[in-house]
Amino acid sequence: MSADVLNTVTAADVSLPKQRSLRGFLAIPQGGFGVGLLLLLLALVVVGPFIAPDSPNEISDQPILGPSAQHWLGTDSYGRDILSRVLHGGASVILLPLLAVSAAMVVATLVGLVSGYLGGKVDSVVTWVINIALAIPSYLAVLVVVAAFGGGGAVVVTAVAVVYAPYITRVIRSATQAIAPREFVLAARARGESLGWILFREITPNIGPTLLVEIALRFTYAIMFIASLSFLGLGVQPPSANWGVMVAQNRALLLVSPVGVLVPALLIGVLAIAVNLIADALTQFFGDRIHERLMV
């Protein structure tokens, strides 16, 4: 055996890369169950409008019917088919929080990265703003916005995004602070890399797990938050079919015809649980310590 062969390390000498596969994620009980539930709900929401027996807003002369062969879940006080409204009413329940969280995430990631990496005065200002923002109760802030601009999907999405952004910024900022002094970042600085490269190519991939867990958790909160706002009449406006709105409208008939409240409420709950399970599984999957969080 020549000395050179002995001296050179080849791939055969090194353990095989451990793949973090999708299969591995699904093998975590929460992951598999959460993804299963979410896929089921997504199927319901996507396919629902096509298989709904009636139009969601078609008013019939048969209000407040119990479940029957014609109306599987009965009708509401306007005589609208509850099953059709359930099948149509999921899209906005998922879409609005998704939009709100995505918008908040984009802003928060930018601000958190810059503030965490640069530190100094920039960071002081950002921290100051975050602290003030966190001192304002979420519902109150959104109520003020809605009172000023009126209800509706767009306003609620914007308001929720603005309210959530500081929470997410704080998480991204502290994750960035943990990565910034590491030597591969110093190496990049010594090479004279641009700020953009350092933030997005060196740091961002390493806070990816934190980011993903945070997205999933915030999404859960946002689903509940926006559904609650819709219930309060501040979010999606009637007569739109929306699970939150349905719970609010059928509430009066809870004792007479409970299906109209229970089914949409249950679906919101299942959706939130599914996303929460996924968030939990993501944390386990990446094995990263979750930062301390305040609940909304």
Q: CB of 296 within 8 A of CB of 218?
A: no
Residue 65, Ramachandran bin (φ over 0: left; ψ between -120 and 50: alpha; else beta):
beta
* Of 2, 23, 192, 289, the one binding another protein by CB under 8 A: 192
136-143 long-range Cβ contacts below 8 angstroms, 24+ apart: 138/163, 138/225, 138/296, 142/225, 142/229, 142/234, 143/234
Q: Is 294 in the site for another protein (CB under 8 A)?
A: no
Q: Which is nearer to another protein, 81 or 214 (CB)?
A: 214
* By the rule CB under 8 A, 295 interacts with another protein: no
Rounded to the nearest 10 degrees, the angle between the axes of helix 153-179 and helix 120-135 is 140
Dihedral-angle region of residue 54 (phi above 0 means left; psi in -120 to 50 means alpha; beta otherwise)? beta
Cis bond before residue 239 (omega within 30° of 0): yes
Q: How far is the CB of 270 from another protein (least distance, A)?
A: 33
Instruction: Indicate which single residue of 27, 46, 137, 189 sits in contact with another protein (rule: CB under 8 A).
Output: 189
Of these, 2, 16, 23, 294, which contacts another protein (CB under 8 A)?
Answer: 16
Binding flag, residue 288, another protein (CB under 8 A): no
Determine which residue in the list 70, 184, 239, 293 makes contact with another protein, applying CB under 8 A.
184
What burial class does residue 37 get, using C-beta atoms within 10 Å of its C-beta: 0-12 exposed, 13-18 middle, 19+ buried? Answer: middle
Q: Rule CB under 8 A: is residue 148 a binding residue for another protein?
A: no
Number of residues that bind another protein (CB under 8 A): 28
Residue 128: HSE in the Cβ half-sphere, 13 Å Cα cutoff: 7
Residue with Cβ nearer another protein (120 or 135): 120
Q: How many residues does the structure list for the chain?
A: 296
CB 76 within 8 A of CB 253: yes
Q: Does 186 bind another protein (CB under 8 A)?
A: yes
Residue 187 touches another protein, criterion: CB under 8 A: yes
Choices 14-22, 165-173, 223-231, 264-272 (CB under 8 A): range interacting with another protein:
14-22
Least distance to another protein, CB of residue 208, Å? 7
For the segment 198-237, give every residue that binds another protein (CB under 8 A): 202, 205-206, 208
76 in contact with another protein (CB under 8 A): no
Q: Tell me whether residue 7 is exposed, middle or buried, using C-beta atoms within 10 angstroms of its C-beta: 0 to 12, 13 to 18, 19 or more.
A: exposed
Least Å distance, CB 197 to another protein, is 9
Q: Does 289 bind another protein (CB under 8 A)?
A: no
Residue list 78-97, contact with another protein (CB under 8 A): none
Q: Which residues bind another protein (CB under 8 A)?
A: 1, 3, 6-11, 13-18, 182-184, 186-187, 189-193, 202, 205-206, 208
